Chain A
Amino acid sequence: MCSLGVFPAPVTAAQTLFERNNELLSALHPGEHSQACDLPSPQFTRDTLKGHSRPESSSRSVFLDQRDTLWMRSAGAWRDAGLYGLLDEITNSAEEVPRFLAVGSACVLALLRWASSFHGSLFPHLTLSSDEMVAEFSQMLDWSDSALRSFAWHPHTDKFAVALLDDSIKIYKSNSSPTPTLKHRCQRSVCALQWKPLCGSALAVACQSCLLIWHVDPASLSTRPSSGCAQVLSHPGHSPITSIAWSPTGSLLVSASPVDTSMMVWDVAAESAVPLQRVGGGGVTYLSWSPDGSRLLAATPSALFRVWETRMWTCERWPCLKGSCQSACWSPDGGCLLLSMQGERVIYALTFSDLTGINNTYSSPVTACQLLLILKGFSSLSALLNISVGGEVCSLSWDPRGERLAVLLKGRADNHPSVIAVFKTRSSPVFELLPCGFVMGEAGAEPRFMQFHPHFQHGALLTVCWSDGRISHVPFYFSSAGLLGGDSPQQALASNTTNPSSNKLYTEQIS
């Protein structure tokens, strides 16, 4: 249990710049300058970006209505809206068709509607429209209203991709090279972005109707890569896609849709998919692959989530107490999973006892799901401004070294904004969470999305998307207190590089 009151409250409501000496320093702090790192921090406003004003089907209203024959209309309805449209068309043109046909189709239509409303009462999210569903399950807070739709750091280099309101994607690099803009006919309502690990160029984009894989050549100077650089992956019944996850080895891509009960495991290069179906839950909304690649979290819209092991692709069901799983993050060694539930101010921790490899038998790694932290109470930030913070946990992010945990708390109304609370974490010898502070934006800006830089040299770097369309980077400078347990190659590499003289390749020692 932790009260937000113990957090060190910033003295002013100015933008947080960085952490140094265990202190979060803001812009108004005396003697501090602005950005310490040379990463681009662009800003996008809603006015400059124009979303597509109306969906394609509504262009019908522009044209004059013309009476076709019944056959033509039926064929058109079948093509546009499937069985529902056909039945609807037959029922509506009762004077042209035989009476029994019209009555029959009306009965079938009523039966179908009743069945689907029953289905919808079991899974309420199915009654939402496609855009509403994306807005509901996107990791970006307030998705439909925001100028920024999604954000993703490249796992190995200093570049990131941003999806914008006008359905384009921009790619920024650290140096002042051109920023490519990606546009595609199918790229609508982008909900998630992720770069392929162990690859320099591939970016997966979850769109409303399909999955796009862009291949953006890093050496190219072009600012508008053609749509021929994009692979379109789609599967009937699998849209809108709200979450995607690459395996850490870069060989597989998993995509999920709240409408489809099966998640697709794509072999992207071969463009083939293996559906993995589990009916319970009514869909899959959020996916997260553990950093060591051995497990995959799949959250459903109901109060249920699953943890798949990725060797034989079996899963464990975890029925939640209340609410669906909203967000999750893995510890760097893949041994611990933090979860937040919808409507709760609680973070749950799921620890996995076995780390892969020692023996071949994959015993069930069931461990207790324990209540890690209750974020209780409100903290009044500044007595002058009369702002208080605290609320439902809606996003979690853990830095790649496992030393800082950022928690995005949702706000409610005026004078109660969303805020990012940062904790210091340590996993050995016992798991510890210590409050570090609040990350503040400029006046009036609320955080919408956050992600840690995957390989920041001097500590951790949190990138935040703000409600005013700005993307800012908050570095946390600290010296690593000791790495987490586990022997993943990256960590071994890190330990090697810290002491290069003692640990060399054998060939180096020979020569």
Chain B
Amino acid sequence: FDVMATKPCTKFSSIYFQVVIWRAVASIAWSVLLLPVTTAVFVLLSRFSLFHPIQWISVLIMLILIWKFTSRVILYALYDCLFISLFVFPLVVPSIPCSRMALLGTVLHPRQCVHSLVYCTMGMLVMWCASVTIGGRYSTLGTPCRQSESGEVVTCLNEYHLFLLLAGAFMGYSHSFLGVVQNMYYVSFQPIQQYKYPRFKGCLPMVLKCSVIQSLYSARNFAALYFFFGYVPKTWISSTLNLQIDSSLQPLDSLTGLLDFSLLYHLSISGAFLYLTWYLTVLLFRIYVTEAYSFPVQSTFTEDAEQCLPKVLAEKNTLVMKFLALQDLALLSQHSLSRRLEVFNLSQPGGHPHNWNAISGECLSLLSELTQRLVAHQDAVASNGRVKSQSASSDTRSASSSSSVLTAPFTPDVDSPFSSPAIRRLVGQQDPHSPWSGTVQSPHIMRRGPKLWSASTVSSSVAGEKGSSRFSVIPLHGLETPVNSCSCHTLNCSAQVKSFLAKRVLIMYLFNKLPEASSQALFADSQAHIWALQGLSHLVAASFSEDQFGVVQTTLPNILSCLVVLLEAVDRHFKLPHASSKPVRTLCSMGDSTYKTLRFALRAALKTAIYKITTTFGEHLNAVNISTEHRKRLQQFLEFKE
């Protein structure tokens, strides 16, 4: 890191390294340090025998004394490095697929495939270690056995060992798969601040429960899978490694072979151990990344200016830093008088309120960007509903009208990926960093975006906005292909193909939009907006008594009108279908589903923010220069009618 820090142009990256990388390293270090503990517990449970307690304990002590696990610790360290290197950018914004096809695309994405492969290998490695640790009949792949007819000793395939190895691979894949489906790598911030150790202690029972339940589910699924397809890897391994199959033992891919209590116990115990190590890493990573970081509001030295709050707030590339800065802003506005005074301060030569201007400007641009996004979405939905009455271009009309005939007005166009084979090949390509760049494509392409799937009439203008906005919603499959101008004939053909495909149930199933997914995708990064609202409202309320120079009151009309406009946009959004339906709560999973309710949290935070300002200023708001409509809305808040 020293090398990075000494370069003059990498001031920002130095603070990024200080914060994010350092935290990632610390979380890995802790999860590696915790491994001996979990391994000891695992050994204790795997060697458990009810009738020989003395033997059990002595074996345990021996094992711990020999420190057989050192090699394993190194292995885990390697694997943890792999884990973090894949996710060195913590996902603070979840990726929300809008249809099942998009989800399929994400799962089959090459990056995800590599990830699954890595996890399969790691799962097999851990299971190999586990089977060696358990010992007994599980220890090696080949066992000496006596052939029945000739009586000579040959090496046979140990099916128990193979069973555990394959189970490890299966669990690795299912972990990787569920990580995508349940958004396990999405890091959500807690509503309250806690120190790391109490938080870890509080989460530990949940992690234990989740890993045990997940392991039981996986064990069940794997047993079923092995029952049906177990002979394939068995014959393959035995033929490639030239191992005999011991015919005297009961084969495991039969009902009686699988109903072995000790086998299933060891399978679920090692599965729980496997999941626990992974979940602990995820948990520690989350705890470390979401810990609040206190940025200086202003610095005395100009070379440190890049690390100050206003500069980090304006950060575009790394969302983590921006989120941490916004969290810090929300905290300082509520808890720290001295730092609030620094925000309200004037610059020493010149007397300009640079700090306040930068902070409030950044928050306001965030909020107005959300307003624009919501308005664009509403326009898109509205234009989809009444597209026939508009004089749109010919291809737009045909596409949308056919879809609206077939399906409800708010379902997407079912078959646009089939309009050319090129598109079909590109399903699943993901490019989060340049979502809307490139030339403006046809409405077919725009329709694939998470929210603008039917934005035929406003697509080009919105695309321009999105490209310039710093907080782009991550699209799930940015299809980009040149579509040439199509004639009437091809249009007719495509309409026929469309109606043909729309009748197929599977295709409808894959391409139908998931309900409320577009709404979730719109508010995917709303934690940032919530903090901006909290920070702004508390700073403005505090300025009533703490702001000595009146720097806040010059921007008060802007802030109020921005909040009211956003409130109107949010209110309109909640009138759309599926927007106000509550998601089903999952009881026990490591995946974080808080992103599903962020839109409700944003609405509540917005109203609270306006109330905070109106109750503090009271009748003085009449002296603020805002438009009559906004004043009317604010009057509602003054009378507590909202």
Contact = CB atoms under 8 A, between A and B. Distances in A.
A and B associate in one complex: yes
A236 to B, nearest CB: 9
Most buried by A among B198, B337, B640: B640
Contacts of B620: 504-505, 508
Given A269-B601, A313-B193, A489-B541, A508 B623 contact: yes
A359 B611 contact: no
Nearest to A492: B545
A251 interface: yes
Interface in A195-245: 198-201, 218-219
Given A198-B612, A249-B612, A272-B597, A218 B640 contact: yes
Contacts of B639: 157
Contacts of A312: 193-195
A357 B623 contact: no
A491 to B, nearest CB: 9
A200 B642 CA distance: 6
B616 interface: yes
B334 A249 contact: yes
Interface string A480-507: 0000000101001100010000001111
A116 interface: no
A249 B334 CA distance: 9
Contacts of A200: 611, 637, 640-642
B234 interface: no
B600 A270 contact: yes
A345 B559 CA distance: 52
Q: Is the interface of A mostly helix, strand, loop or mixed?
A: loop
Contacts of A249: 334, 538, 608, 612
Interface string B602-642: 01110110011001111010011100000000000101111
B174 interface: no
A275 B204 CA distance: 12
B642 A201 contact: yes
A459 interface: no
Interface in A299-331: 310-314
A310 B334 CA distance: 11
A218 B624 CA distance: 26
Given A356-B337, A505-B624, A487 B545 contact: yes
A250 B334 CA distance: 13
B539 to A, nearest CB: 12
Given A218-B640, A277-B202, A505-B623, A199 B193 contact: no
B190 A274 contact: yes
Contacts of B618: 493, 497
B501 interface: no
A252 interface: yes
A250 B338 CA distance: 24
A216 to B, nearest CB: 12
Contacts of A511: 623
Interface string A259-282: 000000101111110111100000
A245 B534 CA distance: 20
A358 interface: yes
A52 interface: no
A507 B625 contact: yes
A274 B191 contact: yes
B52 interface: no
Interface string A359-391: 110000000000000000000000000000000
B221 interface: no
A458 interface: no
Task: Categorize the interface residue count of chain B.
Answer: 35 or more
Contact of A313 (B194, B541, B556, B612): B194
Contacts of A268: 604
B337 A493 contact: no
B338 A360 contact: yes
Interface residues of A, number: 46
Given A218-B641, A270-B601, A276-B202, A198 B615 contact: yes
A214 B538 CA distance: 26
B155 interface: no
A90 to B, nearest CB: 21
Nearest to A154: B640
A489 B545 CA distance: 7
A249 B605 CA distance: 10
Interface string A332-357: 00000000000000000000000011
A20 interface: no
Contacts of B625: 507
A298 B194 CA distance: 17
Interface in B515-530: none
A270 B642 contact: no
Interface string B569-606: 00000000000001001000000001001101101110
A327 B624 CA distance: 44
Contacts of A497: 618
A307 to B, nearest CB: 16
A156 interface: yes
Given A198-B612, A507-B624, A269 B192 contact: no
B608 A358 contact: no
Most buried by B among A157, A271, A275, A310: A271
Contacts of A492: 544-545
B553 A493 contact: no
Contacts of A487: 545
A271 B597 contact: yes
A487 B546 CA distance: 10
B431 to A, nearest CB: 30
Contacts of B542: 489
A342 to B, nearest CB: 29
Contacts of B198: 313-314
A364 B587 CA distance: 37
A236 B615 CA distance: 37
Given A311-B193, A508-B623, A357 B598 contact: no
A59 B335 CA distance: 53
Nearest to B206: A275
Interface of A: 154, 156-157, 198-201, 218-219, 249-252, 265, 267-272, 274-277, 293, 310-314, 356-360, 487, 489, 492-493, 497, 504-508, 511
Given A265-B191, A505-B624, A508-B620, 7 more contacts: A198-B615, A199-B642, A200-B637, A252-B191, A267-B191, A269-B597, A269-B604
12 contacts: A218-B641, A265-B192, A269-B603, A270-B191, A275-B202, A359-B338, A360-B294, A504-B623, A505-B617, A507-B553, A507-B554, A507-B624
Interface of B: 190-195, 198, 202, 294, 334-339, 534, 538, 541-542, 544-545, 550, 553-554, 556, 582, 585, 594, 597-598, 600-601, 603-605, 607-608, 611-612, 615-618, 620, 623-625, 637, 639-642
